[in-house]
Amino acid sequence: MKARRLGNMEVSEIGAGAMSISGSYGPPADIDQGIRTLRTAHDNGITFFDTAEVYGPYTNEELVGEALAPIRDQVKIATKFGFALDGTTARDSRPDRIKRVAEASLKRLKTDRIDLFYQHRVDRNVPIEDVAGAVKDLIQEGKVLHFGLSEPSPRTIRRAHAVQAVTAVQTEYSMMERSPKTNGVLATCEELGIGFVPWGPLGMGYLTGKMDGNTRFDPKTDLRASFERFTPENLAANLPIIELLRQYAERRGATPSQIALAWLRAQEPFIVPIPGTRNIDHLNENLGALRVELTSADLAEIEAVLSKLTVHGGRMNPMYMESVDVSA
């Protein structure tokens, strides 16, 4: 495991997303299993762990706090504020609420500082300068060490960064969802020296190659049940992407997941993907991506094929997409 830099914060070149352990893509895992998975990740060199107030809500932060307490000084913990937690996707990033969330997250995480505090989604009712100012106050108090933004537009990144340096930007990015490359977000991060953290680096599980048109999702426990990309028709229509991954995987003695993660790492040196799993076998498979190095010729060949493929279905449902900041 090598290190990478998100702004001026050093982390492992692959992180661990904890969200799915507490639900979202199926029912929550057993707490002991979650703790075991996160500690195994650290045993294998992962030092960057991602959670949020809204996951659970609250229970995922508690899980991460419990799992990492014995090794707290050896890891970096990222968490997030910004949802109203009122049963909708409404946002609330008023400065006084940000500060209250920070205090509550510190308790749940069993720690005295949050290494990276993201605004989870941009709140159109609160100027981003006020959000950045609130986090700046928390940084001056030592309760937060670094500021991040999730799903922001380039304009929002610039406005926030002018008030308080942004360390990392988090957005969905994978071989299936390449919009950060075309909407200016990645270019803005590169220009300003900001790290980039792709969530959903395995296409919310699709790029593992273990789904097809017969795959079904439980609407009670799995967010993907309402996402257009995960309808039976689109699961089948997007299989040419899986075929490309399988061809490369066969050539490299790897798996589709490992090629997908290696592709992301090869895009930019300031990219740190955070694949999430509750399963230690899947964790080990993800770590195997570190053994796969794609050359510039590989990347050009993959890009030539991807550019001819249509990705069928939007990445989230309209309710979730409404919270993505796409201002010019």
| Residue-level pLDDT at 84 | 96
Report if residue 80 sits inside a domain.
yes
Buried b (16+ CB within 10 A) or exposed e, 130-142: ebbebbebbbeee
pLDDT in tens, 22-77: 878 888 889 999 999 999 999 999 999 999 999 999 999 999 999 999 999 999 99
Nearest alpha-carbon partner for 16 in 40, 116, 194: 40
User: Could you tell me the residue range of the domain that residue 272 belongs to?
Assistant: 3-321
Report if residue 185 sits inside a domain.
yes
> What share of the chain has pLDDT > 70, as a percent?
99
67: amino acid identity, one letter: A
Q: What mean pLDDT do residues 289-307 have?
A: 96
Beta bridge partners of 12: 3
| Residue-level pLDDT at 327 | 66
Count of Cβ atoms closer than 10 Å to residue 257 Cβ: 25
Report if residue 326 sits inside a domain.
no
Crossing angle of helices 296-306/256-267, nearest 10°? Answer: 110
Report if residue 327 sits inside a domain.
no
Calpha distance 72→180 (Å, rounded): 32
Report if residue 328 sits inside a domain.
no
Calpha distance 20→18 (Å, rounded): 6
CA 82 to chain centre: 16
Q: What is the pTM of this model?
A: 0.97
Report if residue 156 sits inside a domain.
yes
**Number of independent structural domains in the chain:** 1
Catalytic residue check, 55: yes
pLDDT in tens, 149-185: 999 999 999 999 999 999 999 999 999 999 999 999 9
Report if residue 231 sits inside a domain.
yes
pLDDT in tens, 243-296: 999 999 999 999 999 999 999 999 999 999 999 999 999 999 999 999 999 999
Q: Of residues 25, 55, 173, 248, which has the active-site annotation?
A: 55
**235 or 28, which is more confident:** 235
Calpha distance 5→187 (Å, rounded): 16
CATH code where residue 197 lies: 3.20.20.100
Calpha distance 171→179 (Å, rounded): 9
